[in-house]
């Protein structure tokens, strides 16, 4: 079972991200379960969403305590909330930021992870470029797919096109592809992938 | 010189089957083929105004709909005295749900008729003042707001009679009830409280709102009949004296109802989509004391601890109604 | 068709396939997505022959359903928590009148303190009202139980509540096989009312019944529930034949062969329990689980025979009868009366507190060793509790308990 935990704030599409991830996995014929954990329901409040992917039926009904991957949609949560709690030592980290782990003050933590398991991507900027709105979720899914190799980008795009339509679908799909491509190209050469 | 047309029967006998009238102008109650929707055998008190009001109103509905109507009844006197298990005095399809939801249950029946394409079957909701103005108020407003195709009839005897004469938001000022006893500095129901549901119904801009009285059968029947010619949310508020709760003589029920109208305390009017479209003009208003003195619930206003100021305040309410509704203006 | 969808959406699509005629809804978390989905289907015309009514309260919602059902229409509504309590009078009214309404409960805790997350207190609060109560373990079962519910309700003239854990199921995306219209039509015939408001044949429904007859009327409701005990497994078998999968039934066992300890629960927590059971079986523990699907009527005989060979039973329940203890465990104890089997109550997940598999594992291990107390409160923060108790003992004006605790946890507003 592959477990993902996505952290962000209300309004950033965190819950949608987890759902799209599950739909992408479904498109590949796998079992997937996505669900939210609401804090208080208001914009800007911390939100967590979970996604489990497996080849057999998923029966577990608890929050993801030992994620294989953590996606951070809002870096202002770093140092405020223990976002990495339970993350497996060989897990993956995707952070929505144009800064490096060093600049974010988490390098000491992320350096312990295997090479190519951590990346910072300016997902919000990529979203603004392709969608015109600061909604980083699609881009982050592209990054996650590239970083972990657990999902094909086509599945992510299919999930996006299934949920949205017209320009919104096209923009989000483009953002996901762009991020996927960027992370894929840098993942092999450096210990941590970070995009300027 | 201003003139006012007066109906022929007003100059003669009040008998509903006045043989001097065209049969089409006679009351539904005079018709041998009336449905008698609320049949004899019910357990209402002697002189019950609500039993009269319900029979008049529902028979008019049945005539207007060719006997195709379903009635939903809130908990209250009418429901209790009309269906003493294992008997029922209803000759029509009838349902009792709960105290506060007659309007909502009726909305559900209307929805079922719509979905089954049987919209020629019409729906009535009925309840007392308690079930309408208080506990049923939320559901009533919801039905109005959705413009559900239901005629809601409120039989207002101005208190929770079935449970022992407790005060409701329809209880008039100074009236004695079990929960507003005639003791203390301000005996009876306080002044400055209460709500006027017909006006509130008008504020919803529903297709039709009317007040009616058992003292004027034709007026009541005409209003109900007209209401049934319309679709959407409609509300008719009928004043019905309760000899037991009001402390009046059972034989005086119709007289007391008439005095309420003639004093201006219970104005008869009609409104459509929030605008008054008609009212029953008074030829000669009577002083409120004529009305109040027939009811022991107002007895403490007279006699040894008389309260002329309270009586004057009630007279002022009547005068305000006369002014506000133009009850002394000639009808046109 | 196999879909990856939100649980609420799956329920909405299943209900739509049942050809409902009147749907009335008042919004309350976590049921909103169900009625929004149905409302949209009606508005777009995808669901035809259905009136969708937005009402002004939950009390009105069930009242509209009552009127519609009494007039012969297949009626549906959904609610949770506070909403279920607000319509409580109508809940008893519907079952007393024998109206086959189906209602989804998105199980949610009841305030105060106000809480939007999952537990099963709401359904439990109305367990004596005469409604059949079915609990779904997965979203697939949630969808399937609604199809069974309409058939069951109409066969018995008894309303049915389908209970679906709020957020955990309602807001979870997972794979659900949505049946075809043909399949549902083959299983669920049109509604034939036992009583109906019809000018062609006037009847009076809802009369007052005095001491001379009330008892018999009420007993006949109880009798219907015994009929349901017989009918529920029949319907489940028929469902399996038409749809090709299991759903519903009274209760089902999981790896209880030779089990010394059996865990009993309602709803979604059974999924986590099964994972824990598998892990413990791998480690040699003789442990199994029993999922109760029909809570009302409570299948005393079936539960007893499923548990008869065990030494001990642990009932994990998401509800609490304040002042008395476990609710489901009381029913289980009744089933096991005279057997000598020890029944433990484990109250868990109240107000949406997660039930981690690790906590269950520890709990079941302790039970297996005979080291579990009779009533256990899973993952209760005793430190916080004791702090508040001390506070209350220390001063009269100790302040609102909920706010004190939130402050202790660093979650509340800071007082100056």
| Full set of structural domains in chain B with CATH | 8-324 (3.40.50.970)
In angstroms, the CA B67 to CA B61 distance is 8
Say what the pLDDT of residue A94 is.
97
Chain A residues touching residue C107 (CB < 8 angstroms)? none
pLDDT at B84 over 90: no
Pairwise CB contact (< 8 Å): C24 & B145: no
User: For A60, which of C167, C175, C272 is closest by C-beta distance?
Assistant: C272
Percent of residues, chain B, with pLDDT higher than 90? 84
Question: What mean pLDDT is predicted for residues B56-63?
Answer: 97
Chains that touch C (3 or more CB pairs under 8 A): A, B
Pairwise CB contact (< 8 Å): A35 & C357: no
pLDDT at A100 over 80: yes
What are C's interface residues with B at a Cβ cutoff of 8 A? 21-22, 24, 49-51, 53-57, 59-60, 63-73, 75, 89-90, 93, 97, 197-199, 201-210, 212-213
Nearest-CA distance A64 → chain C (Å): 9
Nearest-CA distance B140 → chain C (Å): 10
Contact of A187 with A149, CB cutoff 8 Å: no
Say what the pLDDT of residue A190 is.
47
DSSP state of B115: H
pLDDT at B258 over 50: yes
Chain A residues touching residue C167 (CB < 8 angstroms)? 35-36, 38
Nearest-CA distance A17 → chain C (Å): 11
Pairwise CB contact (< 8 Å): C70 & B84: no
Say what the pLDDT of residue B32 is.
86
Query: If DSSP states are collapsed to H, E and C, what string results for chain C?
Result: CEEEEEHHHHHHHHHHHCCCCEEEECCCCCCHHHHHHHHHHHHHCCCCCCEEEECCCHHHHHHHHHHHHHCCCCEEEEECHHHHHHCHHHHHHHHHHCCCCEEEEEECCCCCCCCCCCCCHHHHHCCCCCCEEEECCCHHHHHHHHHHHHHHHHHHCCCEEEEEECCCCCCCEEEEECCCHHHHHHHCCCCCCCCCCCCCCCCEECCECCCCCHHHHHHHHHHHHHHHHHHHHHHHHHHHHHHCCCCCCCEEEECCCCCCEEEEECCCHHHHHHHHHHHHHHCCCCEEEEEECEEECCCHHHHHHHHCCCCEEEEEECCCECCCECCHHHHHHHHCCCCCCEEEEEECCHHHCCCCHHHHHHHHHHHHCCCCCCEEECCCCHHHHHHHHHHHHHCCCCCCHHHHHHHHCCCCCCCC
In angstroms, the CA C64 to CA C58 distance is 10
| Lowest mean pLDDT across A40-54, A166-180, B6-20, B239-253 | B6-20
In angstroms, the CA C66 to CA A121 distance is 56
Q: Is omega for the bond preceding A167 within 30 degrees of 0, making it cis?
A: no
Write out residues 176-195 of A within 8 Å (CB-CB) of C. Answer: none
Say what the pLDDT of residue A186 is.
75
pLDDT at A41 over 60: no
Residue from A61, A64, A82, A156 whose CB has the most chain C CBs within 10 Å, to mutate: A61
Nearest-CA distance C307 → chain A (Å): 23
Chain C residues touching residue B139 (CB < 8 angstroms)? 56-57, 59-60, 63
pLDDT in tens, C37-72: 999 999 999 999 999 999 999 999 999 999 999 999
In angstroms, the CA B127 to CA C223 distance is 33
Nearest to B198, CA basis, from B178, B175, B223, B218: B223
User: For C66, which of B68, B85, B105 is closest by C-beta distance?
Assistant: B105
Pairwise CB contact (< 8 Å): B112 & C210: no
Domains C2-243 and C251-377 share a fold: yes
| Lowest mean pLDDT across A96-105, B1-10, C398-407 | B1-10
Nearest-CA distance A37 → chain C (Å): 8
Pairwise CB contact (< 8 Å): C173 & A65: no
Taking CA–CA distances from B85, the nearest residue in chain C reads C209
Chain C residues touching residue B109 (CB < 8 angstroms)? 67-68, 70-71, 197
Chains that touch B (3 or more CB pairs under 8 A): C
Say what the pLDDT of residue C410 is.
80
Pairwise CB contact (< 8 Å): C174 & A58: yes
Spans of all domains in chain C: 2-243, 251-377, 383-416
* Contacts for C265 with CB less than 8 Å, ≥ 6 apart: C273, C289, C290, C291, C292, C315, C316, C317, C328
Say what the pLDDT of residue C412 is.
58
In angstroms, the CA B84 to CA C117 distance is 45
Pairwise CB contact (< 8 Å): C208 & B101: no
Q: Is A34 exposed, middle or buried (0-12, 13-18, 19+ CB in 10 A)?
A: buried
Say what the pLDDT of residue B16 is.
58
Of the pLDDT bands very low, low, confident and very high (cuts 50, 70, 90), residue A191 is very low
In angstroms, the CA B325 to CA B271 distance is 11
Write out residues 126-165 of B within 8 Å (CB-CB) of C. Answer: 138-139, 141-142, 145-146, 148
In angstroms, the CA B95 to CA B39 distance is 16
Nearest to A161, CA basis, from A169, A152, A172: A169
Pairwise CB contact (< 8 Å): C167 & A18: no
Facing residues of C4 across strands? C175
Complex confidence, ipTM:
0.90
Contact of C171 with A49, CB cutoff 8 Å: no
User: For A22, which of C4, C270, C354 is closest by C-beta distance?
Assistant: C4
In angstroms, the CA B85 to CA B106 distance is 23
Nearest-CA distance B68 → chain C (Å): 6
Say what the pLDDT of residue B303 is.
87
Say what the pLDDT of residue B332 is.
55
CATH T-level fold of C2-243: Rossmann fold (3.40.50)
What's phi and psi for C280, nearest 5 deg?
A: -75, -35
pLDDT at B23 over 80: no
Percent of residues, chain B, with pLDDT higher than 70? 95
Nearest to A146, CA basis, from A35, A24, A51, A57: A24
pLDDT at A81 over 90: no
Chain B residues touching residue C73 (CB < 8 angstroms)? 108, 111-112, 115-116
Say what the pLDDT of residue B283 is.
87
| Token pair recorded at residue C234 | 């029949």
Say what the pLDDT of residue C238 is.
98
Pairwise CB contact (< 8 Å): C63 & B146: no
Domains of chain A by range and CATH?
2-190 (3.40.920.10)
Nearest-CA distance B35 → chain C (Å): 12
* Contacts for C198 with CB less than 8 Å, ≥ 6 apart: B70, B93, C71, C72
Per run of 10 residues, the mean pLDDT along chain C (length 416 residues) is 97 98 93 93 95 95 98 98 97 98 98 93 98 98 98 98 97 97 98 96 92 94 98 98 97 98 98 98 98 98 98 98 96 97 97 96 97 96 95 94 89 52
Nearest-CA distance C54 → chain B (Å): 8
Chains that touch A (3 or more CB pairs under 8 A): C
Number of residues in chain A: 196
User: For A60, which of C4, C175, C275 is closest by C-beta distance?
Assistant: C275
CATH T-level fold of C251-377: Rossmann fold (3.40.50)
| Lowest mean pLDDT across B32-36, B297-301, C188-192, C201-205 | B32-36
Taking CA–CA distances from C90, the nearest residue in chain B reads B98
Taking CA–CA distances from C54, the nearest residue in chain B reads B146
User: For C68, which of B79, B94, B108 is closest by C-beta distance?
Assistant: B108
Pairwise CB contact (< 8 Å): C358 & A60: no
Pairwise CB contact (< 8 Å): C167 & A62: no
Of the pLDDT bands very low, low, confident and very high (cuts 50, 70, 90), residue B14 is low
B83 — contact with chain C (CB < 8 Å)? yes
Write out residues 17-46 of B within 8 Å (CB-CB) of C. Answer: none
Chain A residues touching residue C271 (CB < 8 angstroms)? 58-61
Pairwise CB contact (< 8 Å): C174 & A33: yes
User: For B109, which of C71, C89, C206 is closest by C-beta distance?
Assistant: C71
Of the pLDDT bands very low, low, confident and very high (cuts 50, 70, 90), residue A194 is very low
* Contacts for C282 with CB less than 8 Å, ≥ 6 apart: none
CA distances (Å), B160 to each of B71, B156, B244, in order? Answer: 21, 10, 12
> Rg of the Cα trace of chain A?
15
Pairwise CB contact (< 8 Å): C60 & B142: yes
Chain C residues touching residue B90 (CB < 8 angstroms)? 202, 204
| Angle between helix C7-17 and C32-44 (nearest 10) | 50
């Amino acid at each position: 079972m592959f477990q993902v935990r996505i952290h962000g704030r209300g309004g950033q599409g965190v819950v949608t991200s987890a759902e799209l991830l599950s739909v992408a996995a479904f498109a590949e014929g796998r079992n997937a379960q996505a669900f939210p954990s609401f804090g208080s329901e208001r914009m800007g409040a911390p939100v967590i969403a979970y996604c489990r992917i497996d080849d057999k039926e998923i029966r577990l009904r608890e929050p993801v305590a030992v994620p294989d991957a953590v996606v951070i949609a809002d870096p202002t949560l770093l140092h405020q909330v223990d976002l990495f709690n339970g993350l497996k030592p060989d897990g993956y980290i995707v952070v929505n930021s144009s800064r490096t782990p060093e600049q974010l003050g988490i390098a000491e933590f992320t350096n312990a992870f295997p090479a190519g398991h951590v990346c910072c991507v300016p997902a919000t900027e990529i979203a603004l470029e392709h969608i015109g709105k600061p909604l980083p979720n699609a881009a982050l899914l592209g990054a996650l797919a590239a970083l972990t190799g657990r999902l094909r980008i086509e599945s992510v795009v299919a999930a996006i096109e299934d949920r949205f339509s017209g320009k919104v679908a096209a923009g989000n799909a483009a953002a996901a592809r762009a991020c996927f491509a960027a992370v894929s190209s840098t993942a092999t050469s450096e210990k941590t992938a970070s995009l300027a | 010189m201003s003139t006012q047309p007066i109906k022929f029967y007003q100059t003669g006998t009040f008998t509903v089957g006045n043989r001097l009238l065209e049969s089409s102008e006679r009351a539904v109650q005079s018709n041998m083929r009336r449905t008698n929707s609320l049949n004899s055998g019910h357990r209402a008190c002697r002189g019950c105004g609500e039993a009269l009001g319900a029979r008049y109103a529902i028979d008019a509905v049945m005539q207007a709909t060719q006997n195709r109507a379903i009635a939903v009844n809130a908990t209250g006197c009418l429901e209790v005295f009309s269906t003493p298990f294992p008997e029922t005095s209803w000759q029509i399809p009838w349902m009792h749900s709960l105290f506060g939801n007659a309007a909502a249950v009726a909305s559900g029946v209307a929805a079922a008729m719509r979905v089954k394409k049987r919209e020629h079957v019409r729906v009535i909701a009925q309840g007392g003042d308690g079930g309408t103005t208080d506990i049923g108020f939320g559901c009533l407003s919801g039905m109005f707001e959705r413009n559900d195709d239901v005629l809601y009839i409120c039989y207002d005897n101005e208190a929770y009679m079935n449970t022992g004469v407790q005060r409701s938001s329809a209880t008039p000022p100074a009236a004695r009830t079990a929960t507003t006893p005639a003791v203390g500095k301000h005996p009876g129901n306080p002044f400055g409280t209460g709500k006027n549901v017909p006006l509130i119904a008008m504020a919803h801009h529903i297709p039709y709102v009317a007040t009616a009285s058992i003292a004027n059968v034709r007026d009541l029947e005409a209003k109900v009949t007209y209401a049934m010619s319309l679709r959407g949310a409609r509300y008719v508020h009928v004043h019905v004296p309760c000899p037991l709760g009001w402390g009046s003589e059972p034989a005086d029920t119709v007289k007391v109802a008439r005095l309420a109208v003639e004093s201006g305390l219970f104005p008869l009017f009609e409104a459509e989509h929030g605008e008054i479209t008609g009212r029953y003009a008074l030829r000669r208003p009577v002083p409120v004391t004529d009305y109040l003195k027939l009811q022991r619930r107002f007895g403490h206003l007279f006699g040894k601890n008389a309260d002329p100021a309270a009586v004057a305040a009630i007279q002022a309410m009547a005068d305000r109604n006369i002014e506000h509704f133009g009850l002394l203006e000639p009808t046109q | 068709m196999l879909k990856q969808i939100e649980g609420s959406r799956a329920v909405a699509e299943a209900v739509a396939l049942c050809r409902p005629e009147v749907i009335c809804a008042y919004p309350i978390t976590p049921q909103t997505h169900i009625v929004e989905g149905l409302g949209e289907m009606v508005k777009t015309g995808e669901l035809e022959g259905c009136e969708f009514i937005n009402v002004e309260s939950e009390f009105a919602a069930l009242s509209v359903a009552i009127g519609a059902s009494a007039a012969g229409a297949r009626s549906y509504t959904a609610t949770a928590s506070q909403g279920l309590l607000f319509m409580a009078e109508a809940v008893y009214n519907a079952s007393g009148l024998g109206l086959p309404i189906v209602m989804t409960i998105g199980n949610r805790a009841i305030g105060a303190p106000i809480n939007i997350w999952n537990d099963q207190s709401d359904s439990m609060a109305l367990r004596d009202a005469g409604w059949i109560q079915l609990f779904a373990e997965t979203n697939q079962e949630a969808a399937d139980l609604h199809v069974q519910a309409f058939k069951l309700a109409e066969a018995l003239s008894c309303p049915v509540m389908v209970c679906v854990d709020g957020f955990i199921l309602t807001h979870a995306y997972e794979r659900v096989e949505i049946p075809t219209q043909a399949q549902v039509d083959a299983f669920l015939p049109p509604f034939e009312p036992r009583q109906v408001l019809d000018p062609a044949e006037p009847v009076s429904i809802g009369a007052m019944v005095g001491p001379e007859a009330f008892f018999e009327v009420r007993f006949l409701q109880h009798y219907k529930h015994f009929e349901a005990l017989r009918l529920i497994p029949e319907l489940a078998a028929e469902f399996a034949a038409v749809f090709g999968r299991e759903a519903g039934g009274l209760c089902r066992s999981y790896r209880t062969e030779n089990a010394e300890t059996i865990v009993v629960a309602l709803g979604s927590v059974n999924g986590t329990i099964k994972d824990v059971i598998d892990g413990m079986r791998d480690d040699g523990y003789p442990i199994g689980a029993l999922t109760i699907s029909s809570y009302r009527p409570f299948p005393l005989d079936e539960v007893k025979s499923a548990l008869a060979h065990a030494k001990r039973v642990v009932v994990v329940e998401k509800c609490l009868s304040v002042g008395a203890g476990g609710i489901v465990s009381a029913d289980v104890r009744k089933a096991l009366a005279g057997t000598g089997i020890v029944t433990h109550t484990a109250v868990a997940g109240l107000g949406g507190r997660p039930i981690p598999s690790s906590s269950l594992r520890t709990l079941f291990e302790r039970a297996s060793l005979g080291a579990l107390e009779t009533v256990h409160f899973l993952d209760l923060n005793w430190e916080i509790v004791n702090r508040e108790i001390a506070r209350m003992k220390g001063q009269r004006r100790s302040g609102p308990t909920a706010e004190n605790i939130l402050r202790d946890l660093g979650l509340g507003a800071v007082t100056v």
